[in-house]
Amino acid sequence: MANTSFTRTYTDFATATVDRYCSKKFEDNISRASPFLSWMMDDGGKVGRGDKKYMSGDSGDRIMEPLMTELNTTGKWYDGAEEFDTTQQNVGTAAFWDSKQLGITITITGKDKRLNSGKEKQIDLLKARSDQGMISMRTLLARAAIAGDGTGSSGKEIYGVPALCPTDRGTTVAYGEIAANTSWWLCQRSRSGTTYGAVGDFATNFKKYGKQLYHDCQEGGSAPDLHLVSQEAEESYHDLLLPFERHESKTALDLGYENVLTFMKAAVLWDRYHPYAGLTTQNWYMLNSEFLRLRYCPEANFSVLGFQRPIAGDYISTPVIWQGALTTNSRRMHGVLTGITGVV
């Protein structure tokens, strides 16, 4: 049976309602799924240092980040009328990330619609269905961004923090289509007790190697401003400090998280989706917000595609989609401590 004018009117109303609700509520609630997503997305990702971390990217199938790979060699001290060096400089290139897609479906059955007659009840029903879908969507995005290596869901997930900072600094695995082992300027920093080995006991070695890695990641006055850790590592760090050494992070307070400690003035945030959560051996990530972006496609930023009623079904449904990638324009500004043992 063809759609009636009433059916078309209701689907238009449902689409408009969910679109208004999702456009802001989805982004807000998904960011609250984890401390890391809050850090990346709240207030456009402007909390803390640096520019916005959650921002629009290209609309094509790939997202580009311009990279500075070499220094400009024309600079010099000069005297009087000396001429400047006008040699053309090749100081940049670009990294590319495949734009990955995430989506959920919101469905309203005809029975539900009829049992919730009246505009206010229908709005409540649509919001409830939207909240239900939000739980699934935020969990999927959080897990991929924090723990994903780009191979999840048959390679359909975004590259997450483990891909940005792999355990092996000499890895051949490309990030932004550039392999770290052939490009030092797109190679993350790492510190351990031996070359590419394990830090070992947390209480014995963390402060030494943690400070070394933090300083390794410093460049041009910029340094990591987030330590992304598991709950076990955060609790071990808390126990390692004397009371007067426990300083609370203002950045975390701005995000709504209390009692968050700092290390080298950067917030130590634990996240339930950390890839080493619950394991006896841990990794500790140091990230710099000036060189990390969660980019989305403008046409797919928790966008509602529109409710449709199938020919042979008593329901309407719409996909809600997100498309983007976690990118960096300087991988060497981030780092990882590997092989940490002795956590709580």
Question: What are the pLDDT digits (tens) for 171-224?
Answer: 556 677 776 666 555 566 665 544 445 788 999 999 989 998 999 888 878 899
Residues 149 and 111 in one domain: yes
Q: Which residue has the tokens 């409830």?
A: 128
Q: Quick one: 221 and 318 in the same domain?
A: no
Q: What domain count does the chain have?
A: 2
Q: Do 64 and 196 share a structural domain?
A: no
Q: What pLDDT, on the 0 to 100 scale, is given for residue 233?
A: 94
Does any domain span residue 85? no
Please give the structure tokens belonging to residue 114: 């009829």
Helices 5-31 and 119-147 cross at an angle (nearest 10°) of 40
- State if pTM tops 0.75: yes
Give me the mean pLDDT over the 114-136 stretch. Answer: 75
175 and 219 co-located in one domain: yes
Residue 60 domain flag: yes
Residue 89 in any domain: the answer is no
Residue 259 lies in a domain: yes
* Pair 267, 240 in one domain: yes
* pLDDT given for residue 1 in this prediction: 41
Kindly state whether residues 102 and 137 are assigned to the same domain.
Answer: yes
- Considering the domain architecture, whether residues 301 and 336 belong to the same structural domain is answered as no
Q: Are residue 244 and residue 306 in the same domain, yes or no?
A: no
C-alpha–C-alpha distance, residues 6 and 60, integer Å:
37
Confidence of residue 244 (pLDDT cuts 50, 70, 90): low
The whole-angstrom separation of Cα 29 and Cα 124 is 17
| CA-wise closest residue to 40 among 231, 30, 304, 268 | 30
Residues sharing a CB contact under 8 Å with residue 9, sequence separation 6 or more, in sequence order = none
Q: Give per-residue pLDDT as tens, 295-339.
A: 998 888 888 888 888 888 888 888 889 999 999 888 888 989 989
Task: Give the mean pLDDT of 8-25.
Answer: 58
Residue 31 sits in the same domain as residue 120: yes
Give the tens place of pLDDT for each residue, 52-90. Answer: 788 887 656 678 777 766 667 778 788 888 888 887 766
| Confidence at residue 12, expressed as pLDDT on a 0 to 100 scale | 61
Q: Is residue 83 part of a domain?
A: no
Inside any domain, residue 284? yes
pLDDT of residue 28: 52
Identify the CA nearest to 294 among candidates 33, 106, 68. 33
Based on the fold, state whether residues 15 and 145 are members of the same structural domain: yes
Determine the residue type at 280: T
Residue 80 lies in a domain: no
* Collapsed DSSP state (helix, strand, coil) of residue 205: helix
Burial (CB count within 10 angstroms: exposed 0-12, middle 13-18, buried 19+), residue 107: middle
Task: Say yes or no: 44 and 113 in one domain.
Answer: yes
- The residue range of the domain holding 122 is 5-69+95-154+295-326
Q: Do residues 112 and 148 both lie within one domain? A: yes
Tokens 């940490």 correspond to what residue? 340
- Tokens representing residue 34 in the block: 């984890």
Asked, for residue 35, whether it belongs to a domain, the answer is: yes
